[in-house]
Amino acid sequence: MNTTRLTRWLALLLLGCVTFNSNASSDTDKTHYQTATFAGGCFWCMEPPFDKLDGVISTTSGYTGGKKKDPTYKEVSRGGTGHAEVIQIIYDPARISYDELLNEFWHNIDPTNANGQFCDWGDQYRSEIYYHNAEQEKLAKLSKAALIELKPFDAPVVTAVTPASTFYPAEDYHQDYYQKNPVRYKFYRYGCGRDKRLEELWGKTANSEQH
């Protein structure tokens, strides 16, 4: 096993075979909701910052960007499927804009890492924005261009902006992991050095769970 993923696997082993249902909206009128999909490394760590936002209806951890049909966590995490770990967000555009989601996304990733995110290395842990329509494509590219122009880091911004493809929800035990298994989640997050690196990159604007 790749040692960079050892801490995460230990947390999974502690969890065992317990499964949980994923987020589900209680709203019945979903006709105006929209979808956003982001890859930012470990999907456990990408759910919390979006779940807290007013206007986000649900977040679902999963896989996208590859060619393997119905991939499993084991297949994706060992690499070779082409898929990335992602979260898919259902949101109400009347309450939160796509620009606001993009801002939250940037401040929860390392956009300078071309080899993964934090302690997780490999293409399956890349950062990426998957747009679902022309408007999202335009806003995502403008957002990335603005970040490059701002030059908050010495290293270049390498996060890709890509058309959305088939999304495969992850296994039930991955959904809402931080809520159902807070100790194990914090153990993994701390061991991965996520908050430390986010603060190095973004300062006090980082969504560090140490604050």
- Pairwise CA distance, residues 119 & 193, whole Å: 7
Cα–chain center distance at 51 = 12
- Catalytic residue of the set 42, 45, 119, 192: 42
- Pairwise CA distance, residues 163 & 148, whole Å: 21
The verdict on whether 42 is a catalytic residue reads yes
Of 82, 100, 108, which Cα lies nearest the Cα of 36? Answer: 100
Distances (CA, A) of 91 to 58, 85, 125, 133: 7, 19, 24, 15
Question: Tokens at residue 70, please?
Answer: 């119905």
Cα–chain center distance at 172 = 16
Q: Which residues of 118-133 are buried (b: 16+ CB within 10 A; e: fewer)?
A: bbbbbbbbbbbbbbee
- Pairwise CA distance, residues 178 & 138, whole Å: 32
- Residues with a catalytic annotation lie at 42
